[in-house]
Amino acid sequence: MIRGSFAARATRRVRVRRGRRAGGQRAAPPASHAVRPSRALTAALAGCPERRRPLILDSRMDCVVTGGAGFIGSNLVDVLVARGDRVAVIDNLSSGKLQNLAGALAAGAELHQIDTRDAAGVLEIFERVRPELVFHLAAQIDVRISVERPGFDAEVNILGAINVLEAARTVGARKIVNTSTGGGLYGDADVMPTPEGYPIRSLAPYGQSKLAAEGYCDLYTRVHGLQTVSLRYGNVYGPRQDVHGEAGVVAIFCGCLLEGRAPRIYGDGGQTRDWVDVSDVVAANLLAADHDITGPVNIGHGQETSVLDLIEALRDVGERRGLELPQPAFEPERLGEVRRSCLDVSRARSEMRWSATVSLSDGLRRILSEVV
């Protein structure tokens, strides 16, 4: 994930590179350092035969994951390493955390602390790794920052994406799975759930920059034959999301529950979101990489849940663990935020055989079980 100042051009390898086999191939990680996906992710992937297949491959693949130290990226890295892939992570650690990659690094993954805006540095890593698959998750994700600093938001989300696409094209990567946004693109849509073909009505520079990145993905597919797919996420939550972070209201509210603080609601709490567990999002990434699908694909639960309903669900889960969530404090609504958001996931279901399997209550219980 990327926020803050521009990282140094030189690539800093946080972990010593693994040994090489004859012919320049990187050696497989030692069996003693195997990474096991979480139980929820294993269950999500085992929901149908189509989901089990991506975990077991005939041969290992070389993969690059940008933003791989973030909460979504690191969960994805764990599964890629667990299934035997050779994984290189690109992350400037401005918001991603080294501790999120502890297991993956011990099992042989590599971390390159670099900013995706550094085109030369990104290309150097791609030329060494020569990935078959690229998962592009590095981004500026804060809507408020995009409103306050739209130029910075564009640099990270547009120029960063271009650098990754160009590096992938140069080394002959097979496919890029690009992370995009659903609610950030559709704005206050009149159609619920909202399909991919709905007119784009971004209410903040964040959505506009992600749309531009999608456009460059489509361009590289048309002009260069580089296969790309853009996954438009709903509101992702789950383990490793920072409870003190600026993004992720589920994580923030869980932090309030654990610390006995009143959650802050901006607006009246009637605004809705389509919350989806990170394990379901990881499963979507694996399936998108394994299928020929291209273009935008919505990834959500397909259900509207209000912020007030989220608080009630969290309060119910907390009470079962002896935790009490104080009544919320209401603040003025914020510029650029969508009133209603819910994604039509028909394309993901029909073409990728994907659907969300983790309910909101189960997801909340899983978050709390890891910290209580």
The tokens of 87 are what? 């994984």
Q: Give CA–CA dist 237/214, Å, rounded.
A: 23
Distance (Å, rounded) from C-alpha 302 to C-alpha 192?
9
The stretch 122-136 carries a mean pLDDT of 98
Q: Kindly report which listed range (4-13, 103-112, 342-351) carries the lowest average pLDDT score.
A: 4-13
**Three-state SS at 306:** strand
d(C-alpha 269, C-alpha 262), whole Å: 14
Q: What is the pLDDT of residues 267-304, one digit of tens each?
A: 999 999 999 999 999 999 999 999 999 999 999 999 99
| Res. 15: pLDDT tops 80 | no
- In the set 206, 216, 220, 233, the catalytic residue is 206
Q: Measured between alpha carbons, how far is 334 from 273 in angstroms, rounded to an integer?
A: 15
Q: What is the DSSP letter of 37?
A: -
35 pLDDT higher than 70: no
Q: E strands within the chain?
A: 12-13, 62-66, 86-90, 110-113, 133-136, 175-181, 227-233, 235-237, 264-266, 272-273, 275-277, 295-299, 305-306, 329-331
Two structure tokens written together for 39: 């139980």
- Identify the structural domains of the chain with CATH numbers, from first to last: 33-234+277-301+345-357 (3.40.50.720)
What is the Cα 174 distance to its own chain's centre?
A: 20
Q: What is the mean pLDDT of residues 320-340?
A: 91
Mean local confidence (pLDDT), 175-185: 96
Q: Average model confidence (pLDDT) for the chain?
A: 87
Pairwise CA distance, residues 138 & 67, whole Å: 4
Mean pLDDT of all residues in 72-97? 97
pLDDT tens, position by position, 225-265: 999 999 999 999 999 987 655 558 999 999 999 999 999 99
- More confident site: 200 or 43: 200
Contact between 123 and 168 under an 8 Å Cβ cutoff? The reply is no
Tens-place pLDDT, residues 93-121: 999 999 999 999 999 999 999 999 999 99
Each residue's pLDDT tens digit, 44-75 = 555 443 444 444 444 689 999 999 999 999 99
The structure's pTM equals 0.87
82 has pLDDT over 70: yes
- Distance set, CA 159 to CA 11, 57, 118, 171, 184 (Å): 18, 33, 9, 19, 19
What is the structure's pLDDT at 59? Answer: 64
Query: Would you state the pLDDT for residue 242?
Result: 79
Question: Is 233 among the residues known to form the active site?
Answer: no
Q: Quick one: the chain helix, strand, coil %, rounded to 5? A: 40, 15, 40
pLDDT at 12: 45
